[in-house]
C-alpha cells in the first residue's frame, strides 16, 4: 500500500465506503422484500380472509336463526315466499362470500379448513332443505326434531370451521405482522451496523489518506520555509512513488533551475557593477573631452574674431591703396609737374604695401594656428566618437539596465559626427582663407615690385611717364582683386565664427548629454547595487 498513488488511495477509500453502502442497501433491500412479502400476505390473505370469513359466518348465523325463528319462535308457523327469498338471499350471500374467500386462499392449512367448511355447508343445505320441506308441510314437530338432531350439530360444526378459518387468517396476519416487525428491527440493526461500519471505514480511510497527504505536505512546507530564508541548497526527499513523487521531481528540477538562475543573477550583478564602473569612467573621460572641446572652441572663436578684425583692417588698407592708385593715376595724367607728388605718393604706396604684407603675414600665421586648432578638434571628435562607441558597447553589456545610457551614447556619437562635419567645414574655410592670403601676398609682392619699378622709372622722368601711367592703370585691377580677396577673407571669417557658434552649441549639448549620462549611470549603479543585495541573500 506504500507504493499506491493518491488516486489509488482515494479510489480505494471511496470503494470501501461505497461497498459498505451497497452492502447496507442489499441488506435493507432484502429486509424490505421480506416486509413487502409480509405486507402482501396481510393485504391479500389475512385481512380479506378475516373479513370474508366473518361475512360467511354472519350469513351462516342468519340462516340458522331464520330457521329457528320459523320453527319455534314465530306465532305464524307458515313458510311464506318471503321466507324462501330470505333463504335464497342467505345462500347467495354465503356462496358469494365463499367464492370471494376462495380467491384469498394461499396456504394449505387454510385450503383444508375451507374444504371442511364446504363439506359442512353442503350437508347443512341438505338437512336445511329437509327441515324447510317439513315446515312447508306443517310438520313442525318433525322439522323441530330434524333441526335439533341433525341441523344444529351440522351448523355448529360449520360455525366451528368458520371460527378455525378466522383463527387461521388471524394467525397469518399475526405472523405477517411479526415478520414485518422483525424485518423492520433487522433493517434498523443492519442499517445502524452498516452506518457504524461505514463511519469507521470512512474515518480510517480518511486518517490513512490524511497521513499519506499531510506527511509529504509538511516536508514541502519545511522546504518552502527554508527557501524563504534564502537557502536554495535543500532538496525534497519524500521517498514516494505516487503523485508526490512527481511533485518531488518537479520541485527538485525547479530548485535546480532556480539555483542556476540565482547564480547567474549573482554573476550578472557583479558584471553589471563592473560595467557601470567602466561606463562611469568613460563618461567622466568624455565629459573632460567635451570640456576641452568647449575650451578649444572658445580659443578658436577668439582667433576667428582676430581674423575678422584683421580682415576689416585689410579691407580699409586696400581701400586706401585703391585711393592711392587712383591718385597716382591722376597725378600721372597731370603730367610732369606731378612727378614730385607721384614720387611721394609712391613712397606712401610702398609703406602701405609693406603694411599689407605685414598684415597678410599675420593673417597667414593666424590661419596656420586655426589649422592646428582644427586638427586638434578633429582628434577630439575622433576620440569622442571612439569613447561613445565604447560606451555603447558597455551599455549593450549592461542589457536592460544600460538602455538609457545607450541612448545617451548614441546622442554623443551623433554630436561627435556633427563636430567632425563642422570641423571639416572650418578646415575648408581655413584653406580658402590661406589660398586668398597667398594670392594677396603674391599680389602685394607684385604690387611692391611694380611700385619699386615705378619709383625707379619716376627717377628717370620724362620718357617713361606714359609707361608709369600705364603701370598705374594696370595696378588698379590688381588692387581690386586684392580687395575682393580681403572681402572674401572677411566673409570666411564670419562663416568660421558662425561655425564656431554651432560648435559651441554642440559642445554644450554634449556636456548636457554627458550630465544626463552621469545621472543614468548613477541610477544604473543603484539598480546594480539593489540587484546584488537582492541576490546575495540566496545560498546556492
Residue 535 within a domain: no
**479, 446, 485: which is closest to 327 by C-alpha?**
479
Backbone dihedral region for residue 399 (phi beyond 0: left; psi -120 to 50: alpha; all else: beta): left
Residues of the chain with pLDDT under 50: 73
Q: Which residue among 168, 199, 220 closes a domain?
A: 220
Write the DSSP assignment of 433-475 as a string of letters. HHHHHHHHHHHHHHHHHHHHHHHHHHHH-GGGHHHHHHHHHHH
192, 220, 248 - which closes a domain? 220
123 lies in the same domain as 202: yes
Distance separating alpha carbons of residues 510 and 293, to the nearest angstrom: 10
Q: Is residue 247 part of a domain?
A: no
Residue with cell 350437508: 123
pTM above 0.75, yes or no: no
Tell me: do 216 and 288 sit in the same domain: no
Note whether 396 and 307 are same-domain residues: yes
CA torsion, ordered 255, 261, 266, 270, to nearest 10 deg: 170
* 398-423 pLDDT per residue, tens: 877 777 777 777 887 788 788 878 78
48 Cβ contact partners less than 8 Å away, ≥ 6 residues apart: 100, 101, 104
Query: What whole-number distance in Å separates Cα of residue 413 and Cα of residue 415?
Result: 5
* Percentage of the chain modeled with pLDDT above 90: 2
Instruction: Please tell me whether residues 284 and 191 are part of one structural domain.
Output: no
Query: Strands, DSSP E only, in 110-164?
Result: none
CB 497 within 8 A of CB 298: no
Evaluate whether residue 468 is within a structural domain.
yes
Does 269 share its domain with 200? Answer: no
pLDDT at 5: 73
Residue 453 lies inside a defined structural domain of this protein: yes
Taking Cα atoms as reference points, which of 489, 508, 500 lies closest to residue 302? Answer: 500
Question: What span, in angstroms and rounded, lies between the C-alpha atoms of 103 and 136?
Answer: 37
pLDDT of residue 261: 79
Q: Are residues 213 and 274 in the same domain?
A: no
Same-domain status, 214 and 278: no
Q: Is 482 inside any structural domain? A: yes
369/456 same-domain check: yes
Total domains present in the chain: 2
- Looking at residue 126, its pLDDT comes to 92
Instruction: Give the whole-angstrom CA distance, residue 147 versus residue 131.
Output: 7
Provide the domain limits for residue 270.
258-530
For residues 287 and 378, membership in a common domain is answered with yes
* 3-state DSSP assignment of residue 191: helix
Q: Could you say which DSSP state residue 539 is in? A: B
Q: Name the residue among 140, 163, 170 with its Cα closest to residue 72.
A: 140
216 and 283 belong to one structural domain: no
- Answer yes or no: do 368 and 498 share one domain: yes
- Residue 232 within a domain: no
Compute CA 216 distance to the chain's CA centroid, rounded to the nearest angstrom.
30
Answer yes or no: do 380 and 321 share one domain: yes
Contacts of 491 (CB under 8 A, 6+ apart): none
3-state helix, strand, coil in the chain (%, to 5): 95, 0, 5
Give a yes or no: residue 251 inside a domain: no
Say how far apart CA 4 and CA 159 lie, in whole Å. Answer: 76
Question: What is the per-residue pLDDT for 293?
Answer: 74
Helices 243-333 and 6-41, interaxial angle, to 10°? Answer: 130
Neighbouring C-beta atoms of residue 67, cutoff 10 Å = 23
Report CA Rg, the chain. 72
- Residue that is last in its domain, among 220, 250, 266: 220
For 276-291, write each residue's pLDDT tens digit.
Answer: 787 777 777 777 776 7
Task: Answer yes or no: is 192 within a domain.
Answer: yes
- H/E element holding 528? helix 465-536
Tens digit of each residue's pLDDT (9 = 90 or more) over 284-342: 777 777 677 777 777 777 776 777 677 677 667 767 766 766 776 676 667 667 667 77
Instruction: Specify the CATH number for the domain of residue 501.
Output: 1.10.287
Amino acid at each position: 500500500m506504500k507504493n499506491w498513488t493518491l488516486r489509488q488511495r482515494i479510489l480505494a477509500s471511496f470503494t470501501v465506503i461505497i461497498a459498505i453502502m451497497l452492502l447496507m442497501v442489499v441488506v435493507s433491500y432484502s429486509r424490505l422484500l421480506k416486509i413487502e412479502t409480509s405486507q402482501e400476505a396481510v393485504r391479500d390473505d389475512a385481512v380479506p380472509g378475516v373479513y370474508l370469513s366473518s361475512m360467511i359466518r354472519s350469513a351462516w348465523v342468519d340462516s340458522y336463526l331464520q330457521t329457528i325463528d320459523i320453527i319455534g319462535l314465530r306465532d305464524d308457523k307458515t313458510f311464506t315466499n318471503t321466507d324462501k327469498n330470505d333463504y335464497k338471499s342467505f345462500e347467495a350471500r354465503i356462496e358469494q362470500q365463499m367464492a370471494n374467500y376462495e380467491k384469498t386462499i394461499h396456504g394449505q392449512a387454510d385450503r383444508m379448513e375451507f374444504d371442511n367448511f364446504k363439506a359442512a355447508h353442503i350437508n347443512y343445505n341438505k338437512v336445511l332443505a329437509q327441515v324447510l320441506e317439513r315446515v312447508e308441510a306443517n310438520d313442525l314437530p318433525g322439522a323441530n326434531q330434524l333441526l335439533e338432531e341433525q341441523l344444529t350439530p351440522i351448523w355448529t360444526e360449520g360455525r366451528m370451521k368458520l371460527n378455525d378459518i378466522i383463527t387461521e387468517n388471524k394467525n397469518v396476519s399475526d405472523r405477517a405482522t411479526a415478520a414485518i416487525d422483525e424485518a423492520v428491527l433487522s433493517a434498523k440493526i443492519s442499517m445502524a451496523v452498516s452506518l457504524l461500519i461505514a463511519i469507521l471505514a470512512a474515518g480510517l480511510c480518511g486518517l490513512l489518506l490524511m497521513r499519506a497527504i499531510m506527511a509529504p505536505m509538511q516536508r514541502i512546507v519545511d522546504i518552502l520555509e527554508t527557501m524563504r530564508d534564502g537557502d536554495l541548497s535543500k532538496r525534497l526527499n519524500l521517498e514516494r512513488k505516487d503523485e508526490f513523487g512527481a511533485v518531488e521531481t518537479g520541485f527538485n528540477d525547479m530548485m535546480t533551475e532556480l539555483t542556476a538562475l540565482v547564480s547567474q543573477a549573482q554573476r550578472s550583478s557583479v558584471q553589471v557593477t563592473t560595467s557601470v564602473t567602466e561606463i562611469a569612467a568613460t563618461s567622466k573621460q568624455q565629459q573632460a573631452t567635451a570640456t576641452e572641446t568647449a575650451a578649444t572652441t572658445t580659443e578658436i572663436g577668439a582667433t576667428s574674431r582676430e581674423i575678422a578684425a584683421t580682415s576689416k583692417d585689410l579691407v580699409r588698407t586696400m581701400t586706401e591703396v585703391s585711393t592711392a592708385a587712383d591718385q597716382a593715376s591722376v597725378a600721372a595724367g597731370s603730367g610732369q609737374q606731378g612727378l614730385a607728388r607721384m614720387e611721394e605718393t609712391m613712397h606712401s604706396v610702398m609703406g602701405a604695401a609693406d603694411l599689407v604684407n605685414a598684415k597678410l603675414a599675420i593673417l597667414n600665421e593666424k590661419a596656420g594656428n586655426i589649422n592646428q586648432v582644427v586638427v586638434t578638434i578633429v582628434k577630439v571628435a575622433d576620440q569622442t566618437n571612439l569613447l561613445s562607441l565604447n560606451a555603447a558597447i558597455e551599455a549593450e553589456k549592461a542589457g536592460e539596465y544600460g538602455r538609457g545610457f545607450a541612448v545617451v551614447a548614441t546622442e554623443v556619437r551623433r554630436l561627435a559626427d556633427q563636430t567632425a562635419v563642422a570641423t571639416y567645414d572650418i578646415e575648408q574655410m581655413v584653406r580658402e582663407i590661406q589660398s586668398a592670403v597667398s594670392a594677396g601676398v603674391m599680389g602685394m609682392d607684385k604690387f611692391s615690385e611694380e611700385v619699386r619699378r615705378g619709383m625707379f622709372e619716376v627717377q628717370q622722368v620724362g620718357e617713361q611717364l606714359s609707361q608709369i601711367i600705364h603701370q598705374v592703370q594696370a595696378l588698379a585691377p590688381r588692387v581690386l582683386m586684392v580687395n575682393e580677396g580681403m572681402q572674401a577673407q572677411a566673409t570666411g571669417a564670419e562663416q568660421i565664427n558662425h561655425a564656431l557658434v554651432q560648435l559651441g552649441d554642440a559642445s554644450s549639448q554634449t556636456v548636457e548629454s554627458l550630465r544626463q549620462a552621469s545621472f543614468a549611470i548613477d541610477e544604473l549603479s543603484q539598480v546594480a547595487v539593489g540587484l546584488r543585495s537582492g541576490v546575495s541573500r540566496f545560498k546556492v
